[in-house]
Amino acid sequence: MAEAYYNGIYVDNKPFKGTSISTRIYKETLEVESESESIGTLKNTVDDIIACVEAIRKTLVL
């Protein structure tokens, strides 16, 4: 399950000015870490990640 989420959000792991994103699978858990020089940019990044995760969740057949 973690791999499906990882593959779904990995394409968004491209760093851009002042912000970095790192994603990895640890055991059966997906870990996403992001840093940013701007709190607004960090919030937007987290919002984007959550939106991607929600879209993936809706498409997975559990």
**Tens of pLDDT, residues 28-52:** 888 988 899 999 989 988 898 899 8
- Token digits for 18? 């002042």
Per the structure, the count of domains in the chain is 1
Q: Which pLDDT does position 28 carry in this prediction?
A: 85
- Give mean pLDDT, residues 13-27: 81
Tell me the residue range of the domain where 34 lies. Answer: 2-59
Compute the mean pLDDT over every residue in the chain, rounded to the nearest whole number.
Answer: 85
Q: Which residues have a Cβ under 8 Å from the Cβ of 62 and sit 6 or more positions away?
A: none
Is it the case that residue 12 has pLDDT exceeding 80? Answer: no
